[in-house]
Amino acid sequence: DAIIRTENLTKTYGSGQVTTHALRGVSLEIPRGAFCAIVGPSGHGKSTLMHLVGGLDRPSAGQVAVDGIELTGLANSDLARLRAEKIGFVFQFFNLLGSLTAEENVAAAMMFAGIPEKQQKERARELLELVGLGEKLGARPRQLSGGQQQRVAIARALANDPDILLMDEPTGNLDSAAEAEVLAAVAELHRQGKTVVIVTHNPEIARQAQMVVEIRDGRLASA
């Protein structure tokens, strides 16, 4: 049962004489509940693959299906809804709102889902506890370490209880202690059944993954 399936996924940026062939036909299946590491050199298409799988961008050719739903055929509004319901994103830079507390940053992600304010707060607290930040509900981003900020970002990505967590170098900006904190939170989410797809340059993370996808020059490299 593949929760993510791509077929000949292709992305070319630009037009005319200045084009970049970021992805050149990637076909893969990621099983439901997997912990999948995406590895490969910088600039070879990993982020592009994540953006297409997450419906943040459209392919030039080929297909991507999430939970059996073909994204290429969806109107933008349906794509946005599927993204909100099924996918949580975590990026290298946390992009938290500096004027909001940890709890408010997580709750803010629930506003569009029409969840009443009281429930938003309750759920935000639960999620922050899950990532080990139950003591930091009222802290603002600048009062938190890098690893703590990234765990707030993970809690925020979980706000709408997505099946899939797409993480693009979530520890790329962290020291090794902070990285360990973040990975512990990710391991717990995987244990709870989330499908985790993580772009990483850390061989240790790749070693722990059940599935390693290597992208080279926009293609799958055979391991």
Regarding 47 and contact with ligand ADP (CB under 6 A), the answer is yes
Regarding 171 and contact with ligand ADP (CB under 6 A), the answer is no
Of the residues 5, 24, 46, 123, which one makes contact with ligand ADP according to CB under 6 A: 46
Of the residues 1, 15, 16, 42, which one makes contact with ligand ADP according to CB under 6 A: 42
Regarding 19 and contact with ligand ADP (CB under 6 A), the answer is no
Regarding 198 and contact with ligand ADP (CB under 6 A), the answer is no
Regarding 48 and contact with ligand ADP (CB under 6 A), the answer is yes
| Of residues 95 and 192, the one with the C-beta less far from ligand ADP | 95
Site string for ligand ADP, 113-152 (x = CB under 6 A): ----------------------------------------
| Of residues 32 and 201, the one with the C-beta less far from ligand ADP | 201
In Å, how far from its chain's centre is CA 219? 20
Instruction: State in angstroms the smallest separation of the CB of 143 from ligand ADP.
Output: 26
Distance CA 188, CA 137 (A): 20
Distance CA 136, CA 165 (A): 23
Distance CA 1, CA 32 (A): 6
- If one counts every other C-beta atom within 10 angstroms of the C-beta of residue 206, the result is 18
Identify the sign of the CA torsion 32, 22, 76, 70: negative
Strand residue runs (E) in 32-183:
35-39, 61-66, 69-70, 87-90, 164-168
Distance CA 15, CA 220 (A): 24
Instruction: Please identify, among the stretches 45-53, 95-103, 109-117, 138-146, the one whose residues bind ligand ADP according to the rule CB under 6 A.
Output: 45-53
- SS3 assignment, position 174: coil
Cβ atoms of 196 and 50 within 8 Å: the answer is no
Regarding 20 and contact with ligand ADP (CB under 6 A), the answer is yes
Instruction: Please identify, among the stretches 36-44, 66-74, 128-136, 139-147, the one whose residues bind ligand ADP according to the rule CB under 6 A.
Output: 36-44
Residue 205's nearest CA partner among 177, 179, 174, 223 is 179
Of the residues 8, 13, 27, 112, which one makes contact with ligand ADP according to CB under 6 A: 13
Instruction: State in angstroms the smallest separation of the CB of 118 from ligand ADP.
Output: 36
Which residues are at the interface with ligand ADP (CB under 6 A)? 13-14, 20, 22, 40, 42-48, 92, 168-169
